[in-house]
Amino acid sequence: MTDTEACIALNMVPHLGPLRLRKLLERLESPQRILGASASELQKVEGIGPEIAATLARWQDAINLSAELALIEEFGARVITQADPLFPRALREIYNPPIVLYVWGTLAERDHHAVGIVGSRKTSHYGLSSAKKLAYQIAYTGVTVVSGLARGIDTAAHQGALAANGRTVAVIGSGLLELYPPENAGLAEKIAASGAVLSEYPMKFPPSPQNFPYRNRIVAGWGSGLLVVEAGLNSGALITANQAAECGRQVYAVPGPIDRPTSAGSNRLIQQGAKLVTSAADVLEDMESLFPAANPGFSQVKSAAPPSQPPSERGSGSGTRSDWAPSADALSVWNTLSESPAPLDGIAAETGLSVQRVLSLLLDLEMRRRVRQLPGKHFVRATQSPAP
């Protein structure tokens, strides 16, 4: 049994967790020795009571490691531990780092330089637009965007990073085979194709309300800072912001209208000392030492306009605006639009394209200021032509 396989087994043991595992490793030194120890030996470790010791001593009766390893291989995932060089360096420093990370997709060295973006699941058009544009700007410079694949701001952050041809990492609160929310399955596939979807839970671990606040410590601790785009006073994003502050990370917040409940939490964070953000430059200036002066993306976003303006002078990272020509599919989507709001599923039905394909094209057109998204996933034309 390898160290990684032993860690997968320990991660599956009920009620063990990263803090107790740390105590066990301090005494027994390796995950294999923990799995081979007797109940009496295990009970000598601080925090290990009779019940957990008994479960660990009979771990083969409590879990099915062979079945879990088969699921991992069949799915095409990879599992990394803190010993892996791609395990986020900053994440090793938090109070309770995950025992393992299940990785769907690929992690890269550049993912050590990251910013978390979170916000409310129930959001406004202002919040969605701001999240997409800020994530676009941040990802364009080479900084990885980390979020939680949840509805609302998380989804918009991942979409913005993908539109910039940048890297994004989604940290989910369930097993990879129990992806939640289910409507983001297509988005998760896109993220895995160019970045990674991660979980600390076994492959078939179901989603539950208590998983998500615990998952958020990974989003909070992964990068150098956490950006809250839009959050109400009772939003889970505020819990994540507190976790980030406890980890010593810089907390950023986008101000919102004072009469909107969806902005009350993010405005409160600013009152409490979070750095006010009106463009990605406000975040990236704190990371400037990570980027050579010659990096054109960083220099460009440093002088970029606020969220109400185009995110940069490069559309999706594929050339300047004047060089860009819409594809046949983009033209098809454009031709279905008018000044009257059109629903996403209606656009898909009229063009004959999949909803996922239409959403990707609409996002690209929105980033180029060709279309505008309204609440309820309705879209209208923002210009008289699909191209500059």
| Segments making up each domain of the chain, as ranges | 1-61, 103-302, 325-381
- Architecture category of domain 325-381 in CATH: Orthogonal Bundle (1.10)
This prediction has a pTM of 0.76
Whether the bond between 206 and the residue before it is cis, its omega within 30 degrees of 0, is no
> Any idea which fold 103-302 has?
Rossmann fold (3.40.50)
Q: CB-based contacts of 276: which residues, under 8 Å, 6+ apart?
A: 252, 253, 254, 255, 270, 282
pLDDT at 227: 97
Q: Is 214 exposed, middle or buried, given 0-12, 13-18 or 19+ CB atoms closer than 10 A? A: middle
User: 173: closest CA among 204, 132, 214, 230?
Assistant: 214
pLDDT at 357: 81
Buried-exposed string 272-293: b where 16+ CB fall within 10 A, e elsewhere: eebbebebbbbbbeebeebbee
pLDDT at 222: 95
Per-residue pLDDT of the chain (388 residues; tens, 9 = 90+): 899 999 999 999 888 888 888 889 888 888 988 898 888 888 888 888 888 888 888 889 889 999 999 999 999 999 999 999 999 999 998 888 999 999 999 999 999 999 999 999 989 999 999 999 999 999 988 899 999 999 999 999 999 999 999 999 999 999 999 999 999 999 999 999 999 999 999 999 999 888 888 899 999 999 999 999 999 898 889 999 999 998 899 999 999 988 888 899 999 999 999 999 988 888 988 876 544 443 444 444 444 433 333 333 333 333 333 356 778 888 899 889 988 889 888 999 999 988 778 877 887 787 677 888 776 678 888 887 777 6
In three-state secondary structure terms, 117 is strand
pLDDT at 309: 38
pLDDT at 299: 46
- Architecture category of domain 1-61 in CATH: Orthogonal Bundle (1.10)
Euclidean distance between CA atoms 176 and 180, whole angstroms: 9
Euclidean distance between CA atoms 301 and 139, whole angstroms: 10
pLDDT at 274: 94
Q: Is 182 exposed, middle or buried, given 0-12, 13-18 or 19+ CB atoms closer than 10 A? A: exposed
In three-state secondary structure terms, 147 is strand
